[in-house]
Structure formats: structure tokens, C-alpha cells
Amino acid sequence: MGKTRLPRPLARRPSLSIRLRLTIWYSLMLGITLLLFASFIYVTLDRNLAAEVDRSLADRSAEVNRSISLEADPLRRSQIQVTIPQPNVYAAADIFVQVSYLDGQVLATSDNLEGQHLPIGATDLEAARLGYAHYDTIQVGGERLRMLVSPLTIGGRPVGLLQVARAARPMEDTLNRLRLLLLAGIGLSLALSGLVGWALARAALAPIDQVTQTAEEIGASRDFGRRVEHSGPQDEVGRLAGTFNLMLGQLQAAYAELQAAYSRTEAALASQRRFTADASHELRTPLTTIRGNAGLLQQVETMSPEDRRESVAQIVGEAERMSRLIQGLLVLARADAGQRLAREPVALAPLVEEVARQAEFLARGVEVSLEQVAEVEVLGDRDYLKQLLLILVDNATKYTPTGGRVTLSACVADGLVALRVADTGVGISPEDLPHIFERFYRADRARQSGGTGLGLAIAKWIVDEHRGRIDVDSEVGRGSTFTVRLPLVA
């Protein structure tokens, strides 16, 4: 198979700047306009000068023609005697006069012809015989002349030929001077317009240069809080600066959101690593205890019944603790996976009373009392709300000495129901309060009673899923009060 040839990249041609292109276009359009205008002036003046020359020739021809008298020759009546004034009277430095018969014989010429004759063609004679006058351009002695050929008539019958010519050099000199003047004016105008156009384009595009420079600086520093300063009118450049600032604002918001998401991801990863480490540590202790006691039971066959019961009790206790730990880990894993609770109206009073009755069997010498409970409904999951209250009550009885008291209550304030679980236990130190809802967090040794360290973390998740808030008010040696505020059913 043949090799496939990849297309070669096209060479990138250097591009002209916008101000240079604008200047070129302005100068080009102005040059075309001036050239058309100059051509119009030149052609108009050429035609006017030519018409003026023709009019002067016609006037001079009519003047000469009026001055000529035609008479019959008394000796030869068949011949016509032509009497004309001196041609020099009608001649000038650039005007020449010549009179001829119809047979082409020259009768008289002006002295400025200096012995030369104006050419007479067959066409001129034929036109004169027919009584027509016409203009022609001729060459005499190397000089161009504009000539009018007109017939001489007696009684309407042509008998002679009158030629009046004028030099074309003055007109040509005038047109040449005009042409040079127009070309010089066009050149100077283009040069001046190029300079002015460059300056105007530079001034008009200066704000765009500022936007470009600011964009480059922002791209280099990634400072999306910076803006383009524009104090001019809200024209195209002003709208460009405003649009660019709006885009910068959106980029800044997106960048901040991306940074926040990155921070949340980093925090989640750190929390996950800490969670895994803590979970492995928490599971290692009960497994070690179970394996140690099981190995002891297996190796020591002569163990006393009391020691055997104690080992079995430790195995059962650690197994139950590990079961609670795994159950809590499953709940938090579902929470991390984005599990959402199905919510429906739940009557609060029966739920609190049920938890209070169940807590009496878990109190271990601690009095559990129920105060006033509002007859209201909250929107939530009944099973998880019960688990929330059991966690708080179990936590309260666990850290309350024998003879202490745990109180449950519920009241309504500001459209929320406040569930309170208060105890007279050991309390929580101020430095531990910000961390008690963290997973596997343990406060001082006075509060370490063999729990999993996941209860309050699960309670916090349940409260968040119910769009509520949980607060703690505690004093060391005097007890703690956990307050859960939940929205009422509308």
C-alpha cells in the first residue's frame, strides 16, 4: 500500500495592521475620487477651450465674410471679381486667414503665414461648392492649427473658399499646465490624507490597543478581577470594552466556582482518606479483641467457666460494636454517594414519645423525662428522624453519670420546630465543640465510652437532609443541650 501524504501546512502570510489597512483604503478611495474629479475638470476644460476656439474662428470667419465684396469683372463678365480687405486686419499672432477660389487658387493670405499656404483638400473644395462649412485640425510648419473652412457665396451661389485657422498651442499649453497641477494636487492630497488617516486610525484604534494589552496582561497574570478602563462614549469601542468586562466577570465567576469545586474535591479526598484510615483503625480494635479471645478459647481447654464466659462476652460485645460501626459506615457511605431521603408529613409528638419510652430501657440509671411537645408535623423520613433522636438520647445518657437526667422537648418558634435533648452530664469543652460532628472524632477521655464516633456525624447528615440545623450548647461539668430545628409542613 502506498503512503498517505499529509497535507502541508499553508505558509502564514504576514497580515497588515488594521490602521494600515484603513489608511490604505482611505487613501485609495480619496485617490479614486480625486482622479475622477480631476478627469472631469480636465475633460470639461478641454471641451470648453475647444468650443471657445471654434466660436472665435466662427466669429472671425463671419467678420471676414462680411467684409468681402463680390463684383462682376467689367472686362470679362463671365468672371467674378473678388474684393477683400487686407487679411492682416483680421489676423493676429495665433489667427491665420486665407481666401481661395473654388478651383483651389489662393487669392490672398495673412502675412503671419510667412509665405505658407493653408492646405486645401478636395473635401474642403467639395464642401464649399455645396455651401457647407466645417472644422478641421491641420499641421502647418510643424504646428497644429484648428481651422474653419467656409464658402464665399453670391446670391446663395458659392464662388470662393475662406479659411480661418488658430494655433492650438496655447490651448495645449493650458491643458498641460492644468494636468501637471492636478497630478501634483492629487499626489499632495494623497500624502496629506495618508498622514491624517494614519493619525485618525491610530487615535480611533487606541482603545482597542488598550483592550488587547489588558487582555494579554490578564492572560499572563490570570487576574480576572481586573477590568478594562474606558471613559469614552458608548460607541463600538465602548461596547467592546463593556462586553469584554462582562466576559471577564463571567470568567471570574467561573474561575472562582472552579476553584471552589477544586477545593471541595480536595477536601472530600482528604476527608475520604481520613475516613478510610479512621475506619480501618476502628475496625482493627474489635477484630483484634475477637481474634485474641477466640484464640484463647481454642488454645486453653482447661479454662474456668468464669474466664470462658468473660471471653465470650468480650467477643459478643466487640462483635456488636463492630456491627454498629459497619452499620454507621454504610449510612455515611450512602450519604457520600448522594442518597436522598424520601420525605412526607410526620407527626412529631408520637415520634418523640416513642423515643422517650425506648430510651428508658437504655438509660442505665439515668432519668429520661419528656416535657412539653408541640402537636405539629414536619416533612421528613420517620425512620431517620427516629434514628436522629435515638442518637442524641443515647449520646446524652452515655455521658451522663448515674442519677443524672436527660430531658426531651419540642416547641415551635418562627415557623420552625425546635427539638431539644438536654442532659446533666460531663459537658463538652469549648475546643472540642467545633469538631464533634466530624467522623471518628473523639473528645477528651472523659467522653470516650466505647462508641463508634459516627453517631453525631450521622445525626448531622440526617438534619441536613431534612433542611434543618443542629446546634449545641454545652458547659463542662454541667451538661449539654442539642437543639435540632426543622421546618414545619406548610
Query: With 90 as the cut, is the pLDDT of residue 106 above it?
Result: no
Report the pLDDT value the prediction gives residue 77, as an integer from 0 to 100.
46
pLDDT digits (tens, 9 = 90+) for 398-408: 888 888 999 99
Report the pLDDT value the prediction gives residue 295, as an integer from 0 to 100.
79
Q: Give the up-direction half-sphere exposure of residue 443: CA atoms within 13 A in the CB hemisphere.
A: 19
> Domain 224-339, what architecture?
Orthogonal Bundle (1.10)
Query: With 80 as the cut, is the pLDDT of residue 199 above it?
Result: yes
Query: With 60 as the cut, is the pLDDT of residue 14 above it?
Result: no
Report the pLDDT value the prediction gives residue 284, as an integer from 0 to 100.
67
Report the pLDDT value the prediction gives residue 1, as an integer from 0 to 100.
45
Q: Which residues are within 8 A (CB) of 47 and not within 5 positions of it... i.e. 6 or more apart? A: none
Give the pTM: 0.44
Q: Determine the average pLDDT of the residues in 95-108.
A: 84
Confidence of residue 469 (pLDDT cuts 50, 70, 90): very high
Q: What is the mean pLDDT of the chain?
A: 80
Specify the higher pLDDT residue, 308 or 349.
Answer: 349
Residue ranges covered by each domain of the chain? 20-174, 224-339, 342-487
pLDDT digits (tens, 9 = 90+) for 329-362: 666 666 666 667 778 999 999 999 988 888 887 7
Taking only Cα atoms into account, the Rg of the chain, rounded to an integer number of angstroms, comes to 60
Share of the chain above pLDDT 70, in %: 81
Q: Determine the average pLDDT of the residues in 475-483.
A: 91
Report the pLDDT value the prediction gives residue 154, as an integer from 0 to 100.
67
Report the pLDDT value the prediction gives residue 180, as an integer from 0 to 100.
92
| CB contact at 8 A, 490 and 477 | no
Report the pLDDT value the prediction gives residue 446, as an integer from 0 to 100.
42
Report the pLDDT value the prediction gives residue 335, as an integer from 0 to 100.
64
pLDDT digits (tens, 9 = 90+) for 394-452: 889 888 888 899 999 999 988 899 999 999 999 998 888 888 888 777 655 444 455 55
Taking CA atoms, 397 is separated from 83, 408, 433, 460, 470, in Å, by 157, 12, 18, 19, 19
Please list the residues that pair with 106 across neighbouring strands: 100
Report the pLDDT value the prediction gives residue 319, as an integer from 0 to 100.
79
Taking Cα atoms as reference points, which of 204, 218, 99, 208 lies closest to residue 151? 99
In angstroms, rounded to a whole number, what is the distance separating the alpha carbons of residues 105 and 427?
149
Q: Determine the average pLDDT of the residues in 18-30.
A: 82
φ, ψ of residue 112 to 5 degrees: the values are: -70, -10
Taking Cα atoms as reference points, which of 438, 462, 477 lies closest to residue 390? 462
CATH of domain 342-487: 3.30.565.10
Taking Cα atoms as reference points, which of 335, 325, 362, 278 lies closest to residue 452? 325
In angstroms, rounded to a whole number, what is the distance separating the alpha carbons of residues 388 and 367?
20
pLDDT digits (tens, 9 = 90+) for 150-164: 887 766 778 788 888
Specify the higher pLDDT residue, 393 or 86.
Answer: 393
Report the pLDDT value the prediction gives residue 91, as an integer from 0 to 100.
59
Q: Determine the average pLDDT of the residues in 118-144.
A: 86
C-alpha cell at 101: 477660389
Report the pLDDT value the prediction gives residue 417, as an integer from 0 to 100.
92
Report the pLDDT value the prediction gives residue 472, as an integer from 0 to 100.
93
Confidence of residue 99 (pLDDT cuts 50, 70, 90): confident
With respect to CATH, is domain 20-174 assigned 3.30.450.20?
yes
pLDDT digits (tens, 9 = 90+) for 240-293: 777 878 887 888 888 888 888 888 777 667 766 766 665 665 666 667 777 777
Angle ∠(332,335,340) on CA atoms, nearest 5 = 145
pLDDT digits (tens, 9 = 90+) for 39-50: 999 999 999 998
Query: With 60 as the cut, is the pLDDT of residue 119 above it?
Result: yes
| CB contact at 8 A, 165 and 146 | yes
Please list the residues that pair with 369 across neighbouring strands: 407
| CB contact at 8 A, 91 and 111 | yes
